[in-house]
Amino acid sequence: MPANSTAVAVAAAATARRRLLLLAIAGASLLYLLLSPSSLLPVIDFAARRPPLPTALRHLLFGIASSSKSLPRRLPYLRLWFHPSQINAIVFLDAPPPPLPLSPSDPPIAVSSDSSRFPYTFPGGLRSAIRVARIAKELVDRDLPDIRWIVLGDDDTIFFPQNLLATLRKYDWTKWYYVGARSESVGQNAKHWFGMAFGGGGFAISYPLARVLAKFLDSCLNRYAHLYGSDDRVYACLVELGVELTYEPGFHQVDLRGNLFGLLSAHPLTPLVSLHHVDNIDPIFPGMNRSEALKHLFEAVKVDSGRVLQQSICYDDGSKNALFLFHGVM
């Protein structure tokens, strides 16, 4: 056999042996993976890929600022919107309350931790602002399970829970969000901040952000002794974290007095989330006191919460008439 033919045959045989060796290695590797512990194989967890359940009322934790003096007259407001089977809420007081005719359907009451060590230098202000600001931390410190948002407000903040829920569902609670609204008063905004959520109207903080805020809130409060209120302090600390307000016009501080009909009748096309300072406004229904008027409003809320204060225009093509409908208030 010629030398070149011999060389070709030898090379072909070597190539065939390499292919057989590679096939043997691949087969052995596959057999090893199949027979090895499952930790070496990628695990497909189909349950983990299911979308998370939508945020529900039970995922919200309300922290309500009150005092032993104001709570007795503000309990009727809290009872309008709080339902123990649906809502998690804690009312924080400055001292143990006086004897009250409480019922199991009332929100639980806690006495705030001592905040006297923190400085407060705003002339003529109330140092209770520090105690109220720390409610955010006290809620997180309770480490309640399955919480996605903390919601802060006052004992005269009237929340509309289903509308608040619809508003917060727009946002990914696993990210950092600070949701609320500024005041209706330009003067109040100028005195404080145009980018701040006013605390009386209520505001919500996503739980991952609230946990970070709680870790450094106390040290942050020492840096802002010169500010006036609790909401100023929370806002300043959130800005240090790089978080700005996500504005939702359904929150209402109501820095107004007297007849509120103009504001209510011009409500934007967004769910009514809260009303504040209800002791300072006229009853929103004629011939009723404030409590009766608010109870009457909540009769409409029970039927169709999302449409309260929303406006509709109905046209009759036959008669060429138009009917303007304003839901919830007359």
109 and 236 fall within a common domain:
yes
Residue 322 forms part of a structural domain: no
15 and 66 housed in the same domain: no
Q: With respect to residue 327, please indicate whether it lies within any of the assigned structural domains.
A: no
Examine the domain organization and report whether 71 and 34 are in the same domain.
no
What pLDDT digit, counting tens, does each position of 66-101 carry? 999 999 999 999 999 999 999 999 999 999 988 888
315 in a domain, yes or no?
A: no
203 within domain boundaries: yes
Helix (H) or strand (E) holding 32: helix 3-35
106 and 8 in a common domain: no
Integer angstrom CA distances of residue 289 from 65, 255, 265, 294: 24, 20, 20, 9
Given pLDDT bands bounded at 50, 70 and 90, which one contains residue 197? Answer: very high
- For residues 91 and 125, membership in a common domain is answered with yes
Question: Are 25 and 154 in a shared domain?
Answer: no
Model pLDDT, residue 46: 52
Closest Cα partner for 293 from 77, 82, 75? Answer: 77
**pLDDT digit string (tens) for 211-240?**
999 999 999 999 999 999 999 999 999 999
Question: Are 104 and 209 members of one domain?
Answer: yes
SS3 letters for 222-242?
HHCCCCCCHHHHHHHHHHHCC
| 36 shares a domain with 61 | no
Looking at the domain assignment, is residue 317 inside a domain? no
Residues 98 and 150 in one domain: yes
Residue 330 confidence class, pLDDT cut points 50, 70, 90: very low
| Residue 126 counted as domain residue | yes
Q: Are residues 154 and 88 in the same domain?
A: yes
Q: Is the pLDDT of residue 184 over 70?
A: yes
Q: Which is higher by pLDDT, 12 or 120?
A: 120
**CB of 308 within 8 A of CB of 284?**
no
- Name residues whose C-beta falls within 8 Å of residue 146's C-beta, 6 or more positions apart in sequence: 58, 59
Q: Has residue 323 been placed in a domain?
A: no
Specify the length of the chain in residues.
330
Residue 226 falls inside a structural domain: yes
Query: What pLDDT is recorded for position 144?
Result: 96
pLDDT of 154 over the 90 cut: yes
Q: How many domains does the chain have?
A: 2
For residue 309, is it left (φ>0), alpha (ψ between -120 and 50) or beta?
left
Q: What percent of the chain has pLDDT over 70?
A: 81
Strand extents, DSSP E, the chain: 60-65, 88-93, 109-111, 149-154, 158-159, 178-180, 203-206, 246-247, 274-275, 311-316, 321-326
* Domain at 195, CATH number: 3.90.550.50
- Tell me: do 257 and 109 sit in the same domain: yes
The parent domain of residue 23 ranges over 3-40
In eight-state DSSP terms, residue 38 is G
How do residues 265-289 score in pLDDT, each as one tens digit?
A: 777 788 999 999 988 888 888 889 8
Mean pLDDT value of segment 16-29: 68
